[in-house]
Amino acid sequence: MSNKLDGKVAVITGAGRGIGREIALKLASEGARIVVNDLDIEPAQECVQAILDVGGVAVSCVGNVTATDFAERFIGTAVDSYKGLDIIVNNAGYTWDSVIQKMTDEQWYAMLDCHMTAPFRILRAAQPIIRSLAKVENEAGKRVVRKVVNTSSVAGLFGNAGQVNYAGAKAGIIGMTQTLAKEWGRMNVTVNCVAYGLIVTRLTAVTASEGATANIDGREIKVGVNPDLMAAMEKGIPLGHGGTPEEAAGAVYMFCIPESDYVSGQTLMCSGGLTGI
């Protein structure tokens, strides 16, 4: 284990699987103490155990990020467990696609709730904690830089057919990032965003024809990508392949380490060189 994040407290949503799990493992490997969130207890506990097995420190906070009481419980878990809060990664998300004329209000609001309202509530709940910690540190003449990393998508930058709900929400999180970078700079907090391209996770690894679903908040949401579309997408990536969750986690990690302490309000594309869709 390295120690670039030694003693830091990091909370990560959607960390039981995929990109979130790799972010949790990466930050833990650098010494961060982790709060792992997932919808389901099994993957959350598996991630916690994986961190403990290599000598790290982690606890879980299971629940749906869109629940009205989740944000306070999530931030409270970090404070109660570790007496601090240093890194917030808003990673949880999914897609629920349809062309606009067939998209329901439920689909629309589901994406806004998950990708915008949930991060908003989490950051709102965190602000008094961060403000209090920063005040004490400033009075002691100590400068501690904290980190927020939000996740967006190339769909939020360029749009994507069939994803007006998802793309709209992912564009919104970029605006939230830039606003909070201005609001929170006085508290020595950097606020940045990672916009992902094609990352191969459980939600994209299966083909649409397999009829696979994921249970999200009691809804069975179809997952998977048309194999011809997947091949076309990968062909358009300059690096020649969809990203792995480990590669995706690296982009978040860069915003969490001390080397990025003077980088804020930025959106980094993690897309293998893809600059439009």
The total number of structural domains that make up the chain: 1
What tens digit of pLDDT does each residue of 157-200 get? 999 999 999 999 999 999 999 999 999 999 999 999 999 999 99
Contact 260, 190 (CB under 8 A): yes
State the CATH number of the domain containing residue 69: 3.40.50.720
DSSP 260: G
Residue 186 CB partners (closer than 8 Å, separation 6+):
none
Report if residue 97 sits inside a domain.
yes
Report if residue 37 sits inside a domain.
yes
Among 123, 113, 122, residue whose Cα is nearest residue 219: 113
Q: Which two tokens stand for residue 46?
A: 């598996």
Mean pLDDT of 38-54: 97
What tens digit of pLDDT does each residue of 225-257 get? 667 767 777 888 999 999 999 999 999 999 999
Which of 166, 196, 253, 262 is labelled catalytic? 166
Report if residue 192 sits inside a domain.
yes
Neighbours of 133 (CB within 10 A): 19
196 labelled catalytic:
no
At what angle are helices 18-29 and 41-53 packed, to 10 degrees?
30
Report if residue 119 sits inside a domain.
yes
In which domain, by residue range, is 127 found?
A: 9-197+243-270
